[in-house]
Amino acid sequence: EKGGYRHFMLKEIYEQPRAIADTLAGRIPDDQADVVLEGLGLSDAELQSFRKVFLVACGTSWHAALVGKFLIEKLARVPVEVDIASEFRYRDPIVDEGTLTILISQSGETADTLAALREAKGKQGKAVAICNVVDSSIARESDGVIYTHAGPEIGVASTKAFTTQLVAFILLALRLGRARKSLTDERLGSIIAALKTLPSKIQDTLAACEHMEEIARIYAQATDFLFLGRGNQYPIALEGALKLKEISYIHAEGYPAGEMKHGPIALIDDQLPVVVVATQNESFEKVFSNMEEVRARGGQVVVITDCADDGLKGKADVVLPIPSIADELMPVLTSIPLQLLAYHFAVLRGTDVDQPRNLAKSVTVE
């Protein structure tokens, strides 16, 4: 049942090209005209009418929501607020008929996320879900649903469920942007063209990570890790840190790279490996200088980048080059090395990768 893989988590990481092809199936027509989200249940007029979008979730799904905010604000130009379900549900959130609340949940059964959905609906807002499990409670109670079609995820640490959520957000942002006329034909066409190459780019990214176990060995004795990213890669830094904590029990923190000088920089010494996600977008140079600040204080830098420039080699202890794709889709690719890094650390430490201590696959109690 593990298909020859040692753990479900590894199998699920390698399933991502297929899982994402399934998320996309039937939703991007060949003529590149528009995105089709069959179960969304919202008309163009409704999509135009929203003044505010809430994205509400827990854990890894909340990280997907943080990326979703970038995508929706960029492509659909509507203000987005991201909230953790256990906060949203108890703070009397300002929701009305002009608010669209989107609940993100792999299992569709997370108690706090389900309660957040009920809270939003109780305030007359529209609420739709991004879910993996068909007919789950959250999917059933929402006004509409975008299924991620990742297939069953057995490993407690979410991997393919996360990257398919990112893809669902891209589709939704395109659909919203189209309805709200904030997206030109040209931009839509170029993102759709990039989406079509995504499964094969993921395959190439997996191939680029074949030496990840050796990288993990270099830092096998480390007790703490820092993960840094900016912009749409900041949530990926958070996710990289969460993966490492969950399955290897190594303490890790994710930070927006620009926040480093406001505190975490005090932690940096030669015992602290820092994983930096540096993609070629408008923040590349800034991330790069954050990396130099870490190096100047003796920190060990592992950089994950789509920049093929050899000049990078002398600037970090380990450079992991991955393929490049449209910036909106880069978070899908950068997630993969971080999943594999956490996986190999956990295996080296001999933990129970698929069933880490104290964690359950779906958290149905508050």
The least CB distance from residue 162 to ligand M6R, in Å, is 7
| Separation CA 42–CA 144 (nearest Å) | 7
Size of the site for ligand M6R (CB under 6 A): 16
Residues 122-181 binding ligand M6R (CB under 6 A) are 156-158
Nearer to ligand M6R, 107 or 142 (CB): 107
Q: Which DSSP string corresponds to 312-358?
A: GGGGSSEEEE-----GGGHHHHHHHHHHHHHHHHHHHHT--SSS-TT
Residues 210-249 binding ligand M6R (CB under 6 A) are 246
Tell the residue number behind the tokens 């009920």, with chain if given: 118
**Contact between 335 and ligand M6R per CB under 6 A:** no
The only residue of 13, 22, 23, 61 in contact with ligand M6R, by rule CB under 6 A: 61
**Contact between 86 and ligand M6R per CB under 6 A:** no
Cα dist. 7→14, 17, 164 in Å? Answer: 11, 18, 20
Residues 292-321 binding ligand M6R (CB under 6 A) are none
**Contact between 113 and ligand M6R per CB under 6 A:** yes
**Contact between 105 and ligand M6R per CB under 6 A:** yes
Q: Which DSSP string corresponds to 97-162?
A: TTEEEEEEESSS--HHHHHHHHHHHHTT-EEEEEESSTT-HHHHHSSEEEE-------SSS-SHHH
In three-state secondary structure terms, 71 is helix
**Contact between 106 and ligand M6R per CB under 6 A:** yes
Using alpha carbons, select from 342, 139, 145, 142 the residue that is nearest to residue 241.
Answer: 342
Q: Specify whether 74 is catalytic.
A: no
Nearer to ligand M6R, 60 or 335 (CB): 60
Nearer to ligand M6R, 112 or 306 (CB): 112
User: How much is the CA Rg of the chain, to the nearest whole Å?
Assistant: 20
The only residue of 59, 177, 229, 337 in contact with ligand M6R, by rule CB under 6 A: 59
| Separation CA 260–CA 293 (nearest Å) | 9
From 55-63, 86-94, 310-318, 322-330, span contacting ligand M6R (CB under 6 A): 55-63
Q: Which residues bind ligand M6R (CB under 6 A)?
A: 58-61, 105-107, 110, 113, 156-158, 246, 359, 362-363
Catalytic residues: 361
